[in-house]
Amino acid sequence: MAELRYNPLLRDWTMVASHRQNRPNMPKDFCPFCPGSGRVPDTYDVLKYDNDFPALSQDPPEPDDVGTALYPVKPAYGKCEVILYSPDHHATLPELPVAHIRKLVDLWADRYVSLAANPRHKYVLIFENRGPEVGVTMPHPHGQIYAYPYIPQKLRVELESCEAHRQETGRCLVCDINREEQSAGVRMLVETDHFVSYLPFFTDYPYGAFISSKAHLGSLAEFSEAEKDDLANILKQVTAGMDALFDRQFPYMMVLHQSPVNGPDTEAYYHFHIEFYPPLRAKDKLKYLASSETGAWAPCNPTAVEQTAPELRAAIQRAKGANVHA
């Protein structure tokens, strides 16, 4: 079964993908993403790989006959891709050279543009799940891309907030957030020529970093060559600092927030940024989402970011000073 089911309480769609229950855990003696597997080229740097167990597909089956006027269903149309970061089975994002991460940024930008060319796609979400703590079953370093036929609710609310702020103030909300964090200073992590990174005032994760472009740009497709180079640079700095923080591989969910596609023009008010959702609150302690957070969407950060930002900022500087696998 693969279909979209409408949730009238939230005005959002739920993807039903029961076939994904058959996703494999990584065999101990075989990796389909490693050269020589027969599933990928024998040589590659970064690679787009169509997901073997997609929640959304270009030729979805017709939904089961279970829909009603209150509960519409529709085909799970879209695209799910896997983005392989490297042929090296063990080289995670912070361990890759900046020049190699730049190739990843180029592939992300290329896939964003290619998927946006399909008028049925409405949002292209580039993301990474890292670590078993967030459910990763295939440890070969990779990210994913989902092209949705709708704008998911969280992103829709964010877009609406940015549009309202523009109407009320004449300014971009993310530009204002960047300036607020730079002015406060205490929550800043690192600043480069074209990007800023900080733990925003409102994040619900102790180490929930943002990376935001200084220029008011909506997507990777608008970046200059220098900005793409610098994005690779700051991605390595922030993720290497996360690993250095507790001297262990740092689990996270990373999501690129970009302009929606094939819809209203959001150029005036929307702004590219990356959000991290790391579940660690200490080296061996996880932040669990309990009833209030899951049932009411009432976030609770167990630690003030004015305390955690200096820790992560120092770890980023240590990692940078050690020139980890540059």
Q: At what angle do helices 225-246 and 305-322 cross, to 10 degrees?
A: 110
Tell me how far apart the alpha carbons of residues 242 and 279 are, in angstroms, rounded to a whole number: 12
What is the Cα–Cα distance from 140 to 91, expressed in whole angstroms?
A: 8
User: By C-alpha distance, which of 46, 33, 172 is closest to 110?
Assistant: 46
Cross-strand pairs, 143: 83
Cα-Cα-Cα-Cα dihedral sign, residues 245, 316, 250, 258: positive
| Angle, alpha carbons 243-316-325 (nearest 5°) | 65
Give the E-state strand segments of 218-313 in sequence order. Answer: 252-257, 273-277, 280-282, 285-286
- DSSP for 287-312, please give it: ----HHHHHS-----SS-HHHHHHHH
Q: Which among 75, 73, 78, 74 has a CA at the least distance from the CA of 56?
A: 78
Place of tokens 């989402």: 289
Amino acid letter for position 284: D
User: Which residues, listed in sequence order, are joined to residue 122 by a DSSP beta bridge?
Assistant: none
142 classed as catalytic? yes
In angstroms, what CA-CA distances link 171 with 47, 201, 253, 260, 271? 38, 19, 29, 19, 11
How far apart are the C-alpha atoms of 229 and 57, rounded to whole Å?
32
Which of 100, 121, 140, 142 is flagged as catalytic? Answer: 142
Cα-flanking dihedrals φ and ψ of residue 24, to 5°?
A: -85, 155
Residues belonging to the active site? 142
